[in-house]
Amino acid sequence: MTPRVPDRTLCTDLPAAEPGSTVRLQGWVHRRRELAQLTFLVVRDRTGLAQVVVRGEADVPPEETPVEVVGTATANPQAPGGIEVTEPTIRALSDDADTPPVELWRPTLNASLPTMLDHAAVTWRHPLQRAKWELAAASLKGFRTTLDAGGFTEVCSPKLVESATESGANVFTVDYFGRPAYLAQSPQFYKQVLVGVFERVYEVAPVFRAEPHDTVRHLAEYVSLDVELGFIEDHREVIACLRDVVAGMVAAVHEHAAPAVERLGLDVPVVPEEIPLLHFREALAIAGAPEDEPDLAPAHERALGEWAKAEHGSDFLVVEGYPTANRAFYSHPEPEDPHWSRSFDLIFRGVELVSGAQRLHRYDDYVRTLEERGYPYAPYASYVEAFRRGIPPHGGFAIGLERFVGRLTESPNIREVTLFPRDLHRLAP
Ligand code: AMO
């Protein structure tokens, strides 16, 4: 429970205050503008901005200092929302703040990305920056609400693990009491094993990828929204679940982040009832790629995004049936033609947002696949042996949170929507 701060008026509620009544604001000095006879003070709190007018001599702390303002609500058609605070008593709640590295009071920030990231603790205070994370927070709510309603159980799996899940190449190794361990690249093995307990699980957690590439869509740590469900017929059921989850995330953006959508002037996508779906082979042809290409390159995904928009008016597209050899070993091959897998990706505005698949669920299939791929058994033993204890047919997917918000806001670089990004060059702030 949030402790009740008596009599605090939030900035958004100021327009509803009775003119003449005493109000108490708490927030930061967003802007201090000294004129000859007056000082205008704009206070910023978690809900918005409010104008305070100080007549005559004023001792207003510098910008970004947290303050409490007690004064009179006064009608003024020129003030935001038609009400400002006059005759204020202003009390600094901390020491005077240093001059911020960027002018946060300006309607837009025109600092370079490195400056924004170096000073993230301050630059996130800008209303347009905050709005981006408000979208992320709303999306998380929608993810959880949709899955809770669908009978899923939220789980938390370990992030220190003994084997790589996605590929050996991009794992971070840590010293675990004198032996090597890895930071989890994904909760993949645990979510599958937990289908054996709960049937349907999801997890919201950071995952770690030692990505050697300095790209606009890769981070070394990102938030993975993982889902796994049992008793399925095939991957199409997983795709149907994914469709509902993404629709739930978009609905939650409307429901919980409407002011952020408005501030950013966003074009929020509509999730079609049936997301257009292509087989990998068709996708290659549409993207103009050679037919023996093993995967879709970013340029192919962009072309497919344009195709989905032009042909179906959709910001989303599912590609299924990637070549088995090119997907993770736990992916289920198509029984009729095992060259292709029951895997899929969801492309959102030309960028891969989700990977998923039906998984292998029989112990013997795992042993054979590990052997065929030349993987040692030992590092996978505790995972693979769970499949001797009765795991039903199952499948799942993972959504990259930062990719979702990045495409929602059509940001050129994923770092712009990440609170404190980690990449090849950045470990602080
Ligand atoms: P995959 O490795 O494709 O699949 O990751 C799933 C989704 O996570 C996001 N993503 C990233 N986001 C930011 N930086 C990165 N370095 C990065 N790498 C991936 C993308 C991607 O689509 N275990 C499987 C999922 C599953 O089958 O359930 C997996 O992790 O949005």
Residue 387 is part of a domain; what is its CATH number? Answer: 3.30.930.10
Residue from 84, 221, 320, 352 carrying the catalytic annotation:
352
3-class secondary structure for the chain?
Answer: CCCCCCCECCHHHHHHCCCCCEEEEEEEEEEEEECCCEEEEEEEECCEEEEEEEECCCCCCCCCCEEEEEEEEEECCCCHHHEEEEEEEEEECCCCCCCCCCCCCCCCCCCCHHHHHHCHHHHCCCHHHHHHHHHHHHHHHHHHHHHHHCCCEECCCCCEECCCCCCCCCCCEEEECCEEEEECCCCHHHHHHHHHHHCEEEEEEEEECCCCCCCCCCCCEEEEEEEEEECCCCHHHHHHHHHHHHHHHHHHHHHHCHHHHHHHCCCCCCCCCCCCEEEHHHHHHHHCCCCCCCCCCHHHHHHHHHHHHHHHCCCEEEEECCEHHHCCCCECECCCCCCEECEEEEEECCEEEEEEEEECCCHHHHHHHHHHHCCCCHHHHHHHHHHHCCCCCEEEEEEEHHHHHHHHCCCCCHHHHCCCCCECCECCC
Cα gap 289→276, rounded to integer Å: 20
pLDDT value, residue 59: 87
Does any domain span residue 177? yes
* Per-residue CA distances from 259 to 118, 176, 360 (Å): 27, 45, 44
Please choose, from the candidates 134, 166, 155, 32, the residue with its C-alpha nearest in 3D space to the C-alpha of residue 90.
32
* Contact between 196 and 149 (Cβ < 8 Å): no
**Does residue 305 sit in the same domain as residue 407?**
yes
Identify whether 352 is a catalytic site residue. Answer: yes
- By CB atoms closer than 10 A (0-12, 13-18, 19+), residue 403 is buried
Identify whether 94 is a catalytic site residue. Answer: no
Residue from 256, 361, 403, 422 carrying the catalytic annotation:
403
**Does residue 75 sit in the same domain as residue 16?**
yes
**Does residue 201 sit in the same domain as residue 346?**
yes
* 186, 229, 345, 399: residue to mutate for ligand 1 pocket, most atoms within 8 A of CB: 186
Does any domain span residue 134? yes
**Does residue 267 sit in the same domain as residue 401?**
yes
Atom 12 of ligand 1 has which residue's CA nearest to it? 400
**Does residue 330 sit in the same domain as residue 202?**
yes
Cα gap 175→72, rounded to integer Å: 60
The CA 105 to ligand 1 mean position distance, Å, reads 37
Residue from 211, 221, 228, 320 carrying the catalytic annotation:
211
Which residues constitute the domain of residue 83?
11-92
Does any domain span residue 427? no
**Does residue 157 sit in the same domain as residue 75?**
no
Residue from 126, 200, 209, 342 carrying the catalytic annotation:
209
The CA 58 to ligand 1 mean position distance, Å, reads 54
**Does residue 32 sit in the same domain as residue 156?**
no
Identify whether 217 is a catalytic site residue. Answer: yes
Does any domain span residue 172? yes
Does any domain span residue 281? yes
**Does residue 76 sit in the same domain as residue 161?**
no
Report CA torsion sign: 345, 350, 351, 354: negative
Cα gap 29→44, rounded to integer Å: 7
Determine the atom of ligand 1 nearest the C-alpha atom of 219.
Answer: 14
Does any domain span residue 242? yes
Tokens 């305070």 locate to: 52
Identify whether 218 is a catalytic site residue. Answer: yes
Determine the atom of ligand 1 nearest the C-alpha atom of 224.
Answer: 8
**Does residue 253 sit in the same domain as residue 149?**
yes
pLDDT value, residue 379: 87
Of 92, 110, 126, which closes a domain?
92
Number of domains in the chain: 2
Atom 9 of ligand 1 has which residue's CA nearest to it? 400
* Contact between 344 and 356 (Cβ < 8 Å): yes
The CA 399 to ligand 1 mean position distance, Å, reads 7
**Does residue 87 sit in the same domain as residue 53?**
yes
Identify whether 389 is a catalytic site residue. Answer: no
**CB neighbourhood size of 106 (10 A):** 11
Beta strand pairing status for 394-400 and 221-230?
Answer: antiparallel
Ligand 1 pocket, Cβ-based, cut-off 6 angstroms: 166, 186, 188, 209, 211, 218-219, 222, 224, 352-357, 396-398, 400, 402-403
Identify whether 57 is a catalytic site residue. Answer: no
Atom 3 of ligand 1 has which residue's CA nearest to it? 355
Atom 10 of ligand 1 has which residue's CA nearest to it? 400
Q: What is the pTM of this model?
A: 0.96
Identify whether 273 is a catalytic site residue. Answer: no
**Does residue 136 sit in the same domain as residue 282?**
yes
Atom 17 of ligand 1 has which residue's CA nearest to it? 218
Please choose, from the candidates 205, 266, 302, the residue with its C-alpha nearest in 3D space to the C-alpha of residue 409.
266
Residue from 163, 186, 341, 355 carrying the catalytic annotation:
355
pLDDT value, residue 2: 57
* Contact between 330 and 343 (Cβ < 8 Å): no
- For each of the chain's 429 residues, which pLDDT tens digit applies? 554 444 899 999 999 999 999 999 999 999 999 998 999 999 999 999 999 999 988 889 999 999 999 999 999 999 989 999 999 999 999 999 999 999 999 999 989 999 999 999 999 999 999 999 999 999 999 999 999 999 999 999 999 998 887 776 799 999 999 999 999 999 999 999 999 999 999 999 999 999 888 999 999 999 999 999 999 999 999 999 999 999 999 999 999 999 999 999 999 999 999 999 999 999 999 999 999 999 999 999 999 999 999 999 999 999 999 999 999 999 999 999 999 999 999 999 999 999 999 999 999 999 999 999 999 999 899 999 999 999 999 999 999 999 999 999 999 999 999 999 999 999 999
- By CB atoms closer than 10 A (0-12, 13-18, 19+), residue 195 is buried
Tokens 């930061």 locate to: 28
Q: What's the distance, Cα to Cα, between the start and end of the chain in Å?
A: 30
The CA 189 to ligand 1 mean position distance, Å, reads 14
**Does residue 60 sit in the same domain as residue 195?**
no
Does any domain span residue 399? yes
Q: Could you tell me the CATH number of the domain that includes residue 83?
A: 2.40.50.140
The CA 381 to ligand 1 mean position distance, Å, reads 24
Inter-helix orientation angle 127-149/401-408, to 10°: 120
